[in-house]
């Protein structure tokens, strides 16, 4: 499929040929919805990766605290209390 130069800046819901542009097109005739989905891939990848890393680190520290208990658990809890004592920015 070729992009027609006359398809630049179409309003949302426009039909051009066989395509319906739900969010319209930009100056160069590219579909805006496709651009949003393309950028969304990066955001979702970063969010999923950071969640998995936090899950792994938090689970590991929690298992260490539960397995050893006593002083190790107390030290880990004091570090957590120290982190929680600072207000969010």
What φ, ψ does residue 21 adopt, rounded to 5°? -95, 100
Look at residue 19 in the predicted model and tell me its pLDDT: 86
Residue 45 pLDDT grade (very low, low, confident, very high; cuts 50, 70, 90)? very high
Check: CB of residue 64 under 8 Å from CB of residue 76: yes
Rg (C-alpha) for the chain, rounded Å, is 25
Share of the chain above pLDDT 90, in %: 67
Spell out the domain ranges in the chain: 47-89
Q: What is the chain's mean pLDDT, rounded? A: 91
Residue 27 CB partners (closer than 8 Å, separation 6+) = 8, 9
> What six digits make up the tokens of 51?
């969640």
């Amino acid at each position: 499929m070729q992009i027609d130069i006359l398809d630049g800046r179409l309003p949302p819901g426009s039909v051009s040929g066989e395509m319906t542009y739900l969010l319209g097109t930009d100056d160069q005739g590219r579909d805006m919805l496709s651009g949003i989905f393309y950028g969304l891939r990066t955001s979702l990848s970063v969010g999923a990766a950071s969640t998995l890393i936090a899950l792994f680190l938090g689970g590991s520290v929690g298992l260490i605290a539960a397995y050893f208990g006593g002083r190790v658990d107390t030290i880990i809890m004091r570090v957590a209390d120290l982190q929680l004592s600072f207000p969010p920015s």
